[in-house]
Each structure stands twice: as structure tokens, then as C-alpha cells.
């Protein structure tokens, strides 16, 4: 495999976004805009975010882009572009890299996104670093700091399935549940839902990459509020409950990589949010409330009992913290 020939093979033959001025092929990409623009970047590394036993190249590409689209959704934006920096180890073939790009394009197509450039270098492990861009109506970015006392806490889809799927892939052959494996490999970032909510006056959004224990704490800190989560209301799929009954709640809280949206909405705008979800046949579950606070935190309630929910979940570089 040779760098320039690979780039030629990976370059799109046309662009879906009409704002493209100069696509792949010069020193950089150019587009024209009069709207607010969102930029985000997330990276996937072999043997950290996936391994050859958990995911085929197609799913690696799909999920690397899905993680980025999920952050565009969490800002309320409409996905438009992505660029890809690739570190390719010797054991990955050209066909596997092409498959990885096919996986990205499968998701890119859903949102009308264009691949607009990137970089290709050789190295020891596969690394896919994506930067994605989205459009926003002016002033409509959905911040973690937008939660207010009296809001309702909601989450899209179901939680913990991705962690269940990973367990299946690492420890159970054949897997008990194809559904869980699919949810791990092919998450559905909620960008259409988020961009259809641009009419709401105020909305707080955060996407679930590390688990809601972590994401709810980010909302509490950024907004200066207490987030209350009701353990009994967590949306957990039938599959996860039946295959991993003892682990389901723990993984719903801190399994991570669900790429659902966790957010807060006012009582007044709740109905519009629900109507939008129903129209898309997408599950939205209200799982708690927001109250004012001098010390931002997350409380998890179970019947009469309430305890602090700490931001547990996957944290990179954790072993270096004490150094």
C-alpha cells in the first residue's frame, strides 16, 4: 500500500454539501458559511477503543465517526463535514483501510456528511482521529451549563447496551445477544433529533460516551445545580436485563459508549421534545429532575434512599493521576 494511491482511493468523487469551495486535493479544505459552526474531535485507538476481536474494520470506521457525530448532536448541530487522520500499522491491509472508510461513509451518508480531508502516516497501532464539523442556527448551541432548577432530566434510547455488547465480544462465544453486539459496534448518534429541537428556547445536552454517572456530573458542575437520577426509571433494554441481570444497572450508569443524549428541558418545553421524539419513533425517558445547589452534585434515588452518584466510568490516563 502506498500513501498517495490510498488517498486517491479514499477520496470522494462528489460532495454532498453545497458549501464546499475546495475539497480533497490541495493543501487544505475550503467552505463558505454564514451560520454558527461547531468543531469537535474524538480519537479511536486499537486495543483501547476496539480490538481486532471486537470489531471488523467497517465497524471501526462507523463507530469512530459516530463518536464525533454524537458530540455534534450534543451541541444541537447538524453534521456536515469530517476529516480523518490515520495512523496505519503494518498488519492492516489496504482493503481493510478501504473497508474502514466504507464504514465511515455508511454513517456519513445518513447525515449527508462529506469527507473533506485528513492525513495518513504509518505507525505501530491503528489510530483513527476524526474532526467533525456541523452547522447551528445562530446562538442555538446546547451547552452543559444550560440546566436550571425545575428542569426535567431525560435520556434517549437505552443505556448500558454497548458495555453488554463488549462483554459478549470479549467473554462469550458465540454471543447470547446479537442486539447487544450490534449496539456496541453500530451506535446511533442522535443528531437528527438534536437538530430538530432547534426551536426550543433552552435545552441542555451532553452525549453519553463515558456513562451517565460521568455525564450527569458534568451537567451538575457546568450548570451549578444538583442532578437527581431515579434508579428505577433508567431505560434498560430487555436484552441487557435478561443476559446480564446483575450488571445491567451498573453498566447503564457507567458502561459508556452508548452515544445517547442526556439532557434537561423545562416543564414548558417538555411536550415539544416528546412530540419530536414520537414523530421520529425514538425513545425518550425522563429519569430525574434538577434542583438548585451550593455544591453541584448528582444524587441517585432508589425509593426513599438517596446517595451521591460519583463520576465513575472510563477515564484515560487514570494511572497517571497520582504522579
Ligand X SMILES: Cc1ncc(C[n+]2csc(CCOP(=O)(O)O)c2C)c(N)n1
Ligand Y SMILES: Nc1ncnc2c1ncn2[C@@H]1O[C@H](COP(=O)(O)OP(=O)(O)OP(=O)(O)O)[C@@H](O)[C@H]1O
* Known binding-site positions for Mg(2+): 27, 40-42, 71, 119, 207, 210
Quick one: which segment of 49-57, 108-116, 279-287, 296-304 binds ligand X (CB under 6 A)?
49-57
Quick one: which segment of 13-21, 25-33, 42-50, 273-281 binds ligand X (CB under 6 A)?
42-50
Rounded distance, CA 222 to CA 155, Å? 18
Contact (Cβ atoms closer than 8 angstroms) between residue 107 and residue 14: no
Q: How far is the CB of 210 from ligand Y (least distance, A)?
A: 5
Residue 207 in the binding site for Mg ion (CB under 5 A): yes
133 interface partner picked from ligand X, Mg ion, ligand Y, none, CB below 5 to 8 A per type: none
Encoded one letter per residue, x for contact with Mg ion by CB under 5 A and - for no contact, window 49-88 reads ----------------------x-----------------
Compute how many other C-beta atoms are within 10 angstroms of the C-beta atom of residue 22.
Answer: 13
Which pairing describes strands 127-136 and 261-265: parallel, antiparallel, or unpaired?
unpaired
Residue nearer to ligand X on the CB measure, 44 or 273? 44
Strand partners, 289: 152, 228
Residues binding Mg ion: number (CB under 5 A): 4
Contact (Cβ atoms closer than 8 angstroms) between residue 277 and residue 235: no
Contact (Cβ atoms closer than 8 angstroms) between residue 156 and residue 277: yes
Residue nearer to ligand Y on the CB measure, 39 or 233? 39
Residue nearer to ligand Y on the CB measure, 39 or 124? 39
Q: Is 70 exposed, middle or buried (0-12, 13-18, 19+ CB in 10 A)?
A: buried
Segment 8 to 27, residues that bind ligand Y, using CB under 6 A: none
Quick one: which segment of 44-52, 90-98, 116-124, 275-283 binds ligand X (CB under 6 A)?
44-52
Residue 209 in the binding site for Mg ion (CB under 5 A): yes
Quick one: which segment of 18-26, 34-42, 175-183, 271-279 binds Mg ion (CB under 5 A)?
34-42
Residue 186 in the binding site for ligand X (CB under 6 A): no
Task: State yes or no: cis peptide before 73, omega within 30 of 0.
Answer: no
Residue 209 in the binding site for ligand X (CB under 6 A): yes
Residue 42 in the binding site for ligand Y (CB under 6 A): yes
166 interface partner picked from ligand X, Mg ion, ligand Y, none, CB below 5 to 8 A per type: ligand X
Residue 167 in the binding site for ligand X (CB under 6 A): no
Strand partners, 118: 84
Residue 68 in the binding site for ligand X (CB under 6 A): no
Residue nearer to Mg ion on the CB measure, 19 or 221? 221
54 interface partner picked from Mg ion, ligand X, ligand Y, none, CB below 5 to 8 A per type: ligand X
How big is the chain, counted in residues? 323
215 interface partner picked from ligand Y, Mg ion, ligand X, none, CB below 5 to 8 A per type: none
Residue 257 in the binding site for ligand X (CB under 6 A): yes
* Nearest-CB residue for ligand X: 314
Segment 60 to 119, residues that bind ligand Y, using CB under 6 A: 67, 71
Amino acid at each position: 500500500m502506498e500513501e498517495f494511491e490510498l488517498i486517491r482511493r479514499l477520496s470522494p468523487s462528489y460532495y454532498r454539501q453545497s458549501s464546499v469551495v475546495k475539497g480533497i486535493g490541495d493543501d487544505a479544505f475550503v467552505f463558505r458559511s454564514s451560520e454558527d459552526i461547531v468543531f469537535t474531535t474524538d480519537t479511536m485507538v486499537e486495543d483501547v477503543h476496539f480490538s481486532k476481536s471486537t470489531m471488523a474494520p467497517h465497524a471501526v470506521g462507523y463507530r469512530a465517526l459516530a463518536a464525533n457525530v454524537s458530540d455534534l448532536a450534543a451541541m444541537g448541530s447538524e453534521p456536515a463535514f469530517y476529516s480523518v487522520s490515520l495512523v496505519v500499522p503494518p498488519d492492516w491491509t489496504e482493503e481493510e483501510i478501504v473497508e474502514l472508510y466504507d464504514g465511515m461513509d455508511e454513517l456519513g451518508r445518513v447525515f449527508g456528511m462529506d469527507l473533506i480531508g485528513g492525513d495518513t502516516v504509518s505507525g505501530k497501532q491503528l489510530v483513527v482521529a476524526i474532526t467533525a464539523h456541523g452547522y447551528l442556527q445562530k446562538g442555538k448551541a446546547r451547552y452543559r451549563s444550560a440546566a436550571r432548577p425545575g428542569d426535567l432530566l431525560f435520556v434517549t434510547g437505552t443505556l448500558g447496551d454497548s458495555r453488554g455488547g463488549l462483554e459478549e465480544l470479549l467473554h462469550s462465544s458465540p454471543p447470547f445477544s446479537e442486539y447487544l453486539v450490534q449496539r456496541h459496534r453500530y451506535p446511533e448518534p442522535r443528531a437528527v433529533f438534536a437538530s430538530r429541537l432547534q426551536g426550543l428556547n433552552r435545552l441542555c445536552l451532553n452525549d453519553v460516551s463515558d456513562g451517565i454517572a460521568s455525564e450527569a456530573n458534568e451537567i451538575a458542575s457546568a450548570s451549578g445545580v444538583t442532578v437527581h437520577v431515579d434508579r428505577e426509571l433508567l431505560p434498560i433494554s430487555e436484552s441487557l436485563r435478561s443476559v446480564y441481570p446483575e450488571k445491567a444497572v451498573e453498566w447503564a450508569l457507567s458502561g459508556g459508549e452508548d452515544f445517547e443524549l442526556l439532557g434537561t428541558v423545562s416543564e414548558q418545553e417538555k411536550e415539544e421534545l416528546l412530540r419530536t421524539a414520537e414523530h421520529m419513533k425514538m425513545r425518550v425517558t425522563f429519569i430525574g429532575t434538577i434542583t438548585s445547589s451550593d455544591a453541584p452534585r448528582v444524587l441517585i434515588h432508589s425509593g426513599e434512599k438517596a446517595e451521591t452518584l460519583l463520576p465513575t466510568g472510563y477515564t484515560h490516563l487514570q494511572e497517571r493521576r497520582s504522579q
